[in-house]
Amino acid sequence: MKDTSCNAMWEKLNLDLEAHDGLLEVLGKFYGDIYLSQAGRLQGMEYLDFVLSEIHGLRVQELQAAKQGGRKVVGAFCVFVPEELVLAADAICVGLCAGVEAGKEAVEKILPRNTCALIKSFVGFKLARLCPFTESCDLIVGETTCDGKKKAYETFSEYAPLYVMEIPQMKMASDRALWKAEIIRFKDRVEALTGNKIRGGALNESIRIVNERRRVLQRLNHLRAAVPAPISGRDVLLVNQVSFYDDPLRFTQKIRELCDQLEVRVESGEGIVPKGTPRLMLSGCPMAVPNWKLPYLVESSGAVIVGEESCVGTRNTRDLVDEDAPALDGMIDAIVDRYMKIDCACFTPNKERLEHVVGMARELGVDGVIHYTLSFCQPYAMEALKVEKVLQQAGIPFLNIETDYSMEDVEQLKTRVEAFVEMVS
């Protein structure tokens, strides 16, 4: 993944070149071991391999070229940020990954040690000057989803151009009204940033673009549910991760091609694993790129992952924005309604998520569910107990995993995962 031809660009972005080289080297090795070592991958995955090999190269060059042409780049950490509004103002939206330990020592001087790994990671990337996406952003959008994030943003705002959206915590009419006001406030902010007024035609177009990306991911999820599983869970997770920062039109086209290949494989009854391989589903916290630790452990323990109930999974693709609203006001309402359906653990109560977990596990015919919580994430840790209860009632085996981005617990996790796979086999 090391590409010195980009050094001038990274230097201009004020990256710490030495540390950045080290990061790319580790990532490259990690990717080779976890991804390129898989047998029987579809040809369409070569595009994802290419994107990952150029993770800090070509896409960042594209962003820089767009910025030179006057476009703005907006970064986000959460699926609550309405990308449709960003695109409609002719800006570019990128997900900021936060899936690996970065700048830990510096972070723990300004945030409590017992903060979740995702939060420490995005602050760490900034402090350690390691992420060309973060450094390319004209605006970074935070959200008041959990207490950890909202307090960390106060600190983060000292280092980056930050805007924070207030996310409701309940789903009553008054919460919808609050969320609508926040969507309008965000629209105003994006218009001020770009100097472009968002009009109905452009918003309708961007709603369709983002919906198309969700549709192709829905199609992928539908195809991968076949028995035997035609694609590894790791590969589908990667597709979901890349969806956050690739160009949406190109990404949708490439995943369409991947789905076409997958369809042929499913029709021929071929699998990436033999029939009878235990089918597991992951549920819980998002796994931002390059957080592949648990999926790798699961799939190297003789199971295959057939679904991700998470924000880097079905929580982000399940619902579409209504495309038929005739005017700008109606489109804003459609966006408000679609995003209010997100069943993040930050909501109370959050019965929908429990229904989704059970529904998805039944639909996919899984042999078990692994609940994944990042250490110190209270919302998902609390909900893990509820998820366990509803799955128990549904007769579906459950394993609760709490971990972070370090590799210290890999052996212990592997033992637990292997025992679970054996139990459900």
Three-state helix/strand/coil letters over 157-179: CCCCCEEEECCCCCCCHHHHHHH
**Strands 279-284 vs 368-374: parallel, antiparallel or unpaired:** parallel
Cβ-Cβ contacts under 8 Å for 305 (sequence gap 6 or more): 232, 233, 234, 236, 237, 280, 281, 282, 295, 298, 299
Report d(CA 370, CA 350) in Å as an integer.
Answer: 19
**Binding residues among 135-174 for ligand SF4 as defined by CB under 6 A:** 145-146, 148-149
Q: Which is nearer to ligand SF4, 56 or 120 (CB)?
A: 120
Give the range of 50-58, 192-200, 272-280, 376-384 binding ligand SF4 by CB under 6 A: 376-384
Q: Which is nearer to ligand SF4, 35 or 380 (CB)?
A: 380
Q: Which is nearer to ligand SF4, 94 or 146 (CB)?
A: 146
Strand-pairing partners, residue 281, are 307, 369
Cβ-Cβ contacts under 8 Å for 46 (sequence gap 6 or more): none
Q: How far is the CB of 137 from ligand SF4 (least distance, A)?
A: 17
**Binding residues among 205-224 for ligand SF4 as defined by CB under 6 A:** none
| Choice from 92, 258, 285, 306 touching ligand SF4 (CB under 6 A) | 285
**Count, residues near ligand SF4 per rule CB under 6 A:** 20
Asked if 379 interacts with ligand SF4 (CB under 6 A), we say yes
Asked if 286 interacts with ligand SF4 (CB under 6 A), we say yes
Asked if 266 interacts with ligand SF4 (CB under 6 A), we say no
| Choice from 31, 244, 380, 420 touching ligand SF4 (CB under 6 A) | 380
Residue 156 token pair: 């983060």
Q: Which is nearer to ligand SF4, 232 or 373 (CB)?
A: 373
Report d(CA 398, CA 387) in Å as an integer.
Answer: 9
Starting at the earlier edge strand, list the strands of the sheet with 162-165: 92-95, 73-76, 139-143, 162-165
Q: How far is the CB of 135 from ligand SF4 (least distance, A)?
A: 21
Residue 68 token pair: 């030179």
Q: How far is the CB of 374 from ligand SF4 (least distance, A)?
A: 4
Q: How far is the CB of 197 from ligand SF4 (least distance, A)?
A: 28
Are the CB atoms for 149 and 378 separated by under 8 Å?
A: no
Residues in contact with ligand SF4, shown as a per-residue x/- string from 299 to 338 under the rule CB under 6 A: ------------x---------------------------
Asked if 134 interacts with ligand SF4 (CB under 6 A), we say no
Are the CB atoms for 101 and 117 separated by under 8 Å?
A: yes
Give the range of 16-24, 40-48, 83-91, 114-122 binding ligand SF4 by CB under 6 A: 114-122
Q: Which helix (H) or strand (E) holds 401?
A: strand 398-403
| Choice from 116, 336, 357, 360 touching ligand SF4 (CB under 6 A) | 116
Report d(CA 311, CA 356) in Å as an integer.
Answer: 13
Residue 229 token pair: 């599983």
Q: Is 48 helix (H, G, I), strand (E, B) or coil?
A: helix
**Binding residues among 63-102 for ligand SF4 as defined by CB under 6 A:** 78-80
Q: How far is the CB of 371 from ligand SF4 (least distance, A)?
A: 13
Report d(CA 89, CA 363) in Å as an integer.
Answer: 39
Asked if 387 interacts with ligand SF4 (CB under 6 A), we say no
Q: How far is the CB of 129 from ligand SF4 (least distance, A)?
A: 22
Q: Which is nearer to ligand SF4, 145 or 314 (CB)?
A: 145
Cβ-Cβ contacts under 8 Å for 52 (sequence gap 6 or more): 1, 31, 35, 238, 242
Residue 89 token pair: 């103002």
Q: Which residues of this chain interact with ligand SF4, rule CB under 6 A?
A: 78-80, 116, 118-119, 145-146, 148-149, 285-286, 311, 342, 344, 346, 374, 377, 379-380
